[in-house]
Amino acid sequence: MIILSIETSCDETAVSFVEAVGEFPNAKYEILGNALYSQIEIHREYGGVFPTLAKREHIATIVPMLEAATAEAGLKQDKPAPLSAEVVSKLHEVLAREHGLADQLVSYHNSYGLPPVNAITVTSGPGLEPALWVGVNFAKALGMLWDVPVVPVDHMEGHILAAAFDGHHLKPVTFPALSLLVSGGHTELILMRAWGEYEKIGATRDDAVGEAFDKVARLIGLPYPGGPEVSRLARVAREAKLPPFADLPTPMLKSDDFDFSFSGLKTAVRYAIGNRVLSDTDKQALARDFEDVVVKVLVTKVKKAIETLSVDTLIVGGGVAANTRLRDSLLTLATPQSYPDLSVYLPSPDLSTDNSIMIALAGHSRLNEGLSPESLTTLRADGNKSL
């Protein structure tokens, strides 16, 4: 089957065509076409993602992304028949709040036609609601236009699937498995008893870890998104063996649960800076001190969960899974000296941050929850959706 997949939960507009042969979780996947537009440059000016601006950008770029993915997949049809006035008016109704999008979709259809798609998967949450709605309403419109079911997908489940994906197959997962989800909005430890069965055993009580990276980056004077920037400076500090800049706390390291807290750490960074004007080496050392503490806390809680719950598979998902220090530290857990039976699955760097491939994979696991074109009116975006 061919899946059209859409992701617009934050500042990436992503559309892809993925072919799945066989049943989940043993299917073979082929990425036929994949287009992604990052709005980072636009939001950088504001130091974070601005929801209404994100919505506007999704509206402006989702059809170009669909066109690019269709062309890459070689799914453009010859001489499509133009849409009837009745269908055009229906599309305008569904996309009433996405100003200008219905017209773009009509012109896409009139030159690309109807690709042989069997299902549409779309992120329905969590995320920024105005941004999510663009993808959700666009998926609705396509579902009606193409007469195919639409599968709403949880963004975080997508991050889990991305980590277990080897490019064509899902890696073998033994259950119960542990999943560490670390992104701009989430820091969670999830116990998975099977695919699709999730139990949250711990979470941040305040800031998410990606958010902490972004806020500390701002304190140091680095651009948004801060994670990669902080990480880059930290690496320089390690190579130069710079002495510590700050003695930062390790929040909730020894707490009797699987929870996290990162807002105090950010405040500690602010106090450590005080009124000082930071030199380049100060910034590097501070970035390294911060990253060390974050990784130490995450790894300690992961180890505790591995031991308490006797898991043999660790899945790490979300944008912060791109962090080299965290990746290396988690990979060394799966060594004969630590946990010899453990498999650690990390997403490839391009699938660590938001993308639509992961939404196709998660959607494929939930095809039975697909909404028929007739029942699409019940499809909603939910910014606070939880696994």
- Chain residues that interact with ligand KG4, rule: CB under 6 A: 10, 183-185, 210, 213-214, 225-228, 231, 318-320, 322-323, 353-354
Taking CA atoms, 36 is separated from 184, 249, 367, 387, in Å, by: 19, 38, 24, 25
- Of 359, 331, 333, which Cα lies nearest the Cα of 345? 331
Distance, in Å, from the CA atom of 287 to the CA atom of 230, rounded to the nearest integer, reads 5
- Of 38, 54, 37, which Cα lies nearest the Cα of 46? 54
Of 210 and 251, the one with the shorter C-beta distance to ligand KG4 is 210
Distance, in Å, from the CA atom of 242 to the CA atom of 198, rounded to the nearest integer, reads 42
Residue 226 contacts which entry, ligand KG4, Zn ion, none (Cβ below 5-8 A, type-dependent)? ligand KG4
Which tokens go with 253? 């390291």
Nearest distance from residue 160's CB to ligand KG4, in Å? 12
Which tokens go with 274? 């005080």
Evaluate whether 351 touches 162 at the Cβ level (below 8 Å): yes
The answer to the question of residue 8 lying near Zn ion (CB under 5 A) is no
The answer to the question of residue 323 lying near Zn ion (CB under 5 A) is no
Residue 383 contacts which entry, Zn ion, ligand KG4, none (Cβ below 5-8 A, type-dependent)? none
Nearest distance from residue 64's CB to Zn ion, in Å? 22
Residue 39 contacts which entry, Zn ion, ligand KG4, none (Cβ below 5-8 A, type-dependent)? none
DSSP code, position 370: P
Nearest distance from residue 365's CB to ligand KG4, in Å? 19
Residue 158 contacts which entry, Zn ion, ligand KG4, none (Cβ below 5-8 A, type-dependent)? none
Nearest distance from residue 328's CB to Zn ion, in Å? 21
**Segment lying near Zn ion (by CB under 5 A), choices 182-190, 228-236, 298-306, 334-342:** 182-190
Nearest distance from residue 151's CB to ligand KG4, in Å? 19
Of 211 and 354, the one with the shorter C-beta distance to Zn ion is 354
Nearest distance from residue 334's CB to ligand KG4, in Å? 21
The answer to the question of residue 183 lying near Zn ion (CB under 5 A) is yes
3-state DSSP helix/strand/coil % of the chain, to nearest 5: 45, 20, 35
Of 149 and 152, the one with the shorter C-beta distance to ligand KG4 is 152
Nearest distance from residue 358's CB to Zn ion, in Å? 9
Of 148 and 181, the one with the shorter C-beta distance to ligand KG4 is 181
Q: Can you tell me whether residue 344 is helix, strand or coil?
A: strand
Exposed, middle or buried: residue 312 (CB in 10 Å: 0-12, 13-18, 19+)? Answer: middle
- Of 144, 149, 142, 141, which Cα lies nearest the Cα of 372? 149
- Interface positions with Zn ion (CB under 5 A): 183, 354
